[in-house]
């Protein structure tokens, strides 16, 4: 019979051993363990927090490599971006990318960040058409100018595609935090909302839990990362090694009945991201497991 001791059970057993060592409790000797590991029946309810990947995490890798990484992570939900060949703007190349994702069982739930640097009708329309061809219902909008919001609102109504404006921290002259996004969109079509980037929001002195509650039904996407300092963009670390309050954020998302995705956007170690990405997903899944939710497919 094959050994059915899962990787998660292995990680959990390591955590238990570490806790025993820290408390001074000596676990049973290895020799006293059962000769054959047995599977533990799953318990809990499906997680209401849906984890995905922002393809920018793998910006130095091809679409084929990205698909391979997602299979390794057991993640099927992608926030795609026109980087490398992940989701090209050219219609024919885009169609091939969509076919590749469909064949791999990967679903695209958002595109971006897409940038709207100027008040240009044709440029803005082209980005909505790009997402319509892909069947994507959420555009993560990076740094739209206040002037461009007029055209963005027009096309939100025409295409029925939601816009999630991405905050970019203290360096962003328009939208440092989600609260700045909310001020700008309060009188616009409700399909214009927020993508909270938790790292950038924290650096802009936003309380992340309060931001989630404030955005509420206008929260359409989240980009997550972790930091060891609220003052330093360069302090990013794998999720779980920093100081961001992930359990409290997950609790807030559940409280507001958030239906979107929490996308890992891992911006460090661009040439070798997988160790940190694996650690980040293991931590987030562990937090959700500890809350009583199932996180495996």
pLDDT of residue 14: 39
Residue 17 sits in which domain range?
1-41
Please tell me whether residues 35 and 55 are part of one structural domain: no
Task: Give the integer Cα–Cα distance in Å for 55 and 261.
Answer: 13
C-alpha separations of 231 from 100, 173, 202 in Å: 40, 17, 9
Please tell me whether residues 27 and 174 are part of one structural domain: no
Please tell me whether residues 75 and 34 are part of one structural domain: no
C-alpha separations of 213 from 162, 217, 230, 251, 267 in Å: 19, 9, 21, 11, 26
What is the value of pTM for the model shown? Answer: 0.85
Please tell me whether residues 23 and 95 are part of one structural domain: no
Please tell me whether residues 150 and 17 are part of one structural domain: no
pLDDT of residue 40: 58
Instruction: Confirm if 128 and 139 have CB atoms less than 8 A apart.
Output: yes
Task: Give the integer Cα–Cα distance in Å for 89 and 111.
Answer: 11
Task: Give the integer Cα–Cα distance in Å for 187 and 205.
Answer: 25
| Angle (CA) 180 182 185, round 5° | 110
Please tell me whether residues 153 and 275 are part of one structural domain: yes
247: nearest Cα among 215, 279, 292, 206? 292
Task: Give the integer Cα–Cα distance in Å for 66 and 255.
Answer: 32
pLDDT of residue 38: 63
CB contact set of 105 (below 8 Å; sequence gap of 6+):
76
Count of domains observed in the chain: 2
Please tell me whether residues 65 and 212 are part of one structural domain: yes
| Per-residue confidence in pLDDT tens, the chain, 297 aa | 333 333 344 344 334 333 333 334 444 433 444 455 565 566 679 999 999 999 999 999 999 999 999 999 999 999 999 999 999 999 999 999 999 999 999 999 999 999 998 889 999 999 999 999 999 999 999 989 989 999 999 999 999 999 999 999 999 999 999 999 999 999 999 999 999 999 999 999 999 999 999 999 999 999 999 999 999 999 999 999 999 999 999 999 999 999 999 999 999 999 999 999 999 999 999 999 999 999 864
Please tell me whether residues 133 and 219 are part of one structural domain: yes
pLDDT of residue 41: 62
Helices (H), the chain: 7-23, 63-73, 91-104, 121-134, 149-159, 178-185, 198-203, 208-215, 246-255, 274-290
Which CATH number covers residue 260?
3.20.20.150
Please tell me whether residues 15 and 73 are part of one structural domain: no
pLDDT of residue 118: 85
Question: What are the start-end ranges of the E strands in 206-247?
Answer: 219-224, 226-227, 236-237
Please tell me whether residues 166 and 262 are part of one structural domain: yes
Please tell me whether residues 80 and 164 are part of one structural domain: yes
pLDDT of residue 27: 40
SS3 content of the chain, % helix, strand, coil (to 5): 45, 20, 35
164: nearest Cα among 194, 186, 128? 194
Please tell me whether residues 230 and 90 are part of one structural domain: yes
C-alpha separations of 235 from 74, 228, 239 in Å: 27, 5, 12
pLDDT of residue 44: 79
């Amino acid at each position: 019979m094959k050994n059915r001791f899962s990787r998660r059970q292995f990680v959990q057993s390591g955590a238990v051993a570490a806790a025993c060592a820290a408390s001074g409790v000596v676990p049973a000797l290895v020799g006293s363990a059962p000769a054959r590991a047995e599977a533990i029946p799953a318990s809990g309810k499906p997680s209401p927090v849906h984890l995905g990947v922002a393809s920018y995490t793998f910006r130095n890798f091809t679409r084929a490599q990205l698909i391979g990484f997602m299979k390794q992570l057991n993640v099927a939900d992608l926030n795609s971006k026109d980087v490398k060949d992940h989701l090209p703007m050219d219609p024919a190349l885009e169609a091939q990318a969509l076919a590749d994702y469909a064949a791999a069982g990967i679903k695209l739930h958002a595109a971006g960040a897409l940038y709207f640097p100027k008040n240009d009708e044709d440029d803005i329309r082209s980005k909505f058409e790009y997402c319509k061809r892909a069947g994507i219902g959420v555009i993560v909008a990076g740094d739209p100018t206040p002037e461009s919001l007029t055209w963005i609102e027009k096309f939100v109504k025409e295409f029925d595609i939601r816009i999630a404006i991405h905050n970019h921290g203290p360096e962003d002259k328009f939208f440092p935090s989600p609260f700045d996004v909310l001020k700008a969109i309060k009188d616009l079509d409700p399909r214009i909302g927020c993508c909270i980037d938790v790292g950038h929001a924290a650096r802009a002195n936003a309380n992340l839990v309060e931001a989630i509650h404030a955005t509420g039904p206008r929260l359409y996407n989240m980009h997550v990362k972790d930091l060891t300092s609220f003052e330093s963009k360069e302090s990013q670390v794998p999720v779980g090694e920093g100081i961001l309050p992930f359990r409290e954020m997950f609790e807030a998302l559940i409280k507001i009945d958030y239906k979107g995705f929490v996308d890992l956007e891992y911006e460090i170690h661009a040439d070798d991201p997988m160790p940190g990405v694996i650690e980040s997903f293991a931590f987030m899944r562990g937090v959700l497991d500890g809350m009583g939710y199932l996180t495996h497919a």
